[in-house]
Chain A
Amino acid sequence: MQLKNKEALLLLAPSILILLVTTIFPFLYCIWVSLNNIIIFYPVPNTFKGLQNYIDSLTNPIYGFWKSAYTTLIFTGSSILLEFILGLAIALLLNKEFKGVGFLRSIIVIPLLVSPVSIGLIFRLMFQSGSWSLVNYILKSIGMSPFNWLAERSLAMLVLIITDTWQWTPLMVLIFLAGLRMLPQEPFDAASVDGASSWQIFRYLTVPMLKEMMAIAFLLRLMDSLKTFDIIYVVTLGGPGEATQNLNYNAFLQSFVFGNLSIAAAQILMLTVVVIIISSIILRMVRR
């Protein structure tokens, strides 16, 4: 028996090595960086700071932690909620059989195939205030006044939410659709025979049976959305002011503009802990 375990370990060794190199070691190094004082743009000697970087991030407004945490909450919460609702609605629609549903199922994934940078550029142009702004053109043609989309805090955030929702709703659709296709048909037939309404079927059958898929979809998007950087960088650069500067973008600035790798590492690790806690809570709720 011991020999078999050793064989298994030997065969798994390459995968473990890759995991160590690409995931475990960088994570441990990130923790080490967050406990020290590493600044890349001027010759400050490295000293061990312990948890001071974490305390500084939480207490010193110059590091922008709480502002960007609030922005992250607004952006992530709104995007995921919209994507969840739209994704489920579209998946329910695509789960039915009607003419053209196959074509719709195939084109729904197109946004997922386009790079976030390209999408960001397109939406930036669409919502720009200039004469090439598609959205303002449409608004003007229906008699409404144009908006300064990227120059006002709430509107800039709305543009980002729309951009993110446009790109990632199809992922939710795919996950929910896969879940719906796997559901047994008998309970639904029985419910129909018993006279249950569509809403009752959805509320008491579809949702409970899709619970685990919903949790997976939510967690996947949560982890991704918290890391959003590309569309913020391309569409708003974190502006106007700091209105759309989320934690990830803030960490990028701390690293590559302020040169303070330790503060950036501390902030990212705090975000990681939050994600782990939320994921654990959701998985426990689902298992119950």
Chain B
Amino acid sequence: MGEEKKINRRDYLKYTGAAIGGLVVGGALGYLAKPAEVVEKTATVTAPGVEKTVTTTVTAPAKPAESISVYMVAEPAPEATKKILDLFKKKTGIDVTLEVYPYPTLQTKQATVLSAGSATPDVVMVDDVWLGQYYESGWVEPIDDLVERDKTEINFDDFIPGIVEGNMKYKGKIIGLAHLSAIYIFYYREDILEQFGYSAKDLDTYDGVYEVAKAMKPDLEKKNMYPIGLMGARGVQATCCYYHFLGTFGGRVYDPETFKPEINSPEAVEALEFEAKLAKEVGIPSIPSDDYGELQANFLNGRIAMMPAWHNMAPVLLLPESPVKGKWRGIPVPKKVRRAPTLGGWCLSINKFSKKKDAAWEFIKWATSADVSVYCAKYQDMSRYSAFADPSKACYASGSTTDLELAWPRPNIPPWPAMSDLIGIAVNRVLAGETTAKAACDDLQAKFVEILKSAGYYKG
């Protein structure tokens, strides 16, 4: 038998170096082998008595098309925007890779890449409650100068003022241009209320809503229906629902000047007590576990007669196959001290670490333009007056711009998402009967004092 062949260090390094060198050379050849762009140039040649047009062929190095990456939330308007991306490419020559993610996944994904300083995506979608986080973390920059430079093209006055303040600005600076917006309205089954002799005017106040619900409850229960549905499952929707009641009853999370928490004020406690009363006495029993999808399905399937909910639930309820089509109406939310429809919405911002900020800005201007807004308005509320100009082109118009102008925006300071999560837990516990509204609000107050102090907002 021959001697056992051993690999020595020199051979090992030789083979490894050869492999790496081969890869590098192959890559370089591949790049150089890319077909060059062939361009025809026409020149006119003149000589005494002769004029001749000569066409020559010039080979120019291929210019790669610019491409950008965009993240958006998985909602009807972004999905609609995705379908017309080729129009943007035709206009600008810029390729767009648009990825849509569900709400919580988008935050996780964007927070992960942006905290790592990644240049991708070039455009991020920022929920109104994340504006402070993204700005203070240094992930996005103000675009006031870009807006000023392109103000004619953007037609800034076309944006609804409440949305500008709530969904686009942080500390007075414009962080992005608003894409889709969302507002709370009050849905009710017109046919069912008519059976009991009620109409929209009886739903002008929440006291009225409660009385109507109580009156209808015994007969509705015989049909396996309930008067009211709410979003009570732990999460951002439970917070949004309570936040609507909080504003309606004249409460607030904290003093905007001093940041002193006021979540256990008499108004805040009363708001939560009222929400719990609605849930317990006239609500569908599944409220503590109902999130967005469940509430929408409850109304769609005729299990509830009324609900305060996001305007963007309307498109599904309007589908031809909807069991409740033609039987429901949406009206501005009822009032107590005031009307306070929770505002939601998203703006498109430039990733501070992007290397293609110009292209990103072009996309943002296009995606939030009047033309695209009018197109997307078929699917969801947008943020411009022009999107609502023609009711026949909007997904649902029932004084929507009025609702949007009444907008009750949530805080957008960096600690807010954490505070929002705590509110969601507290509300869920109250609705599930685990604790009282007063105890829950007191607990929140203590936690908010700690959070706002450690974040440097509250000095008291």
Contact = CB atoms under 8 A, between A and B. Distances in A.
Contacts of B133: 41-42, 259
Interface stretch (B6-14, B25-33, B361-369, B397-405): B6-14
Nearest to B238: A239
Contacts of B166: none
Contact of B289 (A7, A43, A131, A151): A151
A149 interface: yes
A223 B46 CA distance: 85
A10 B7 CA distance: 10
A253 interface: yes
Given A240-B288, A256-B111, A130 B303 contact: yes
Interface string B289-316: 1110010011001010000000000000
Interface string B278-293: 0000001111111100
B451 to A, nearest CB: 8
Contact-residue bracket for chain B: 35 or more
B425 interface: yes
Contacts of A253: 421
B233 A42 contact: no
A43 B138 CA distance: 8
B425 A241 contact: yes
B136 interface: yes
B359 interface: no
A3 B6 CA distance: 10
Interface in B194-234: 224, 233-234
A242 interface: yes
Given A129-B286, A148-B285, A148-B289, A257 B418 contact: yes
A238 B434 CA distance: 15
A40 interface: yes
Interface string A16-59: 00000000000000000000000011111000000000000000
Interface string B393-433: 00000000000000000000011011001000100110010
Interface of A: 3, 6-7, 10-11, 40-44, 62, 128-132, 148-153, 156, 236-242, 253, 256-259
30 contacts: A3-B8, A7-B6, A7-B12, A40-B115, A40-B137, A41-B414, A42-B455, A43-B138, A62-B450, A129-B284, A129-B290, A130-B286, A130-B297, A130-B298, A131-B303, A148-B286, A149-B289, A150-B288, A150-B289, A151-B289, A236-B234, A238-B234, A239-B233, A239-B234, A239-B235, A240-B234, A241-B234, A253-B421, A258-B418, A259-B414
Given A62-B450, A151-B432, 8 more contacts: A7-B9, A11-B7, A148-B289, A241-B428, A242-B425, A257-B417, A258-B417, A259-B111
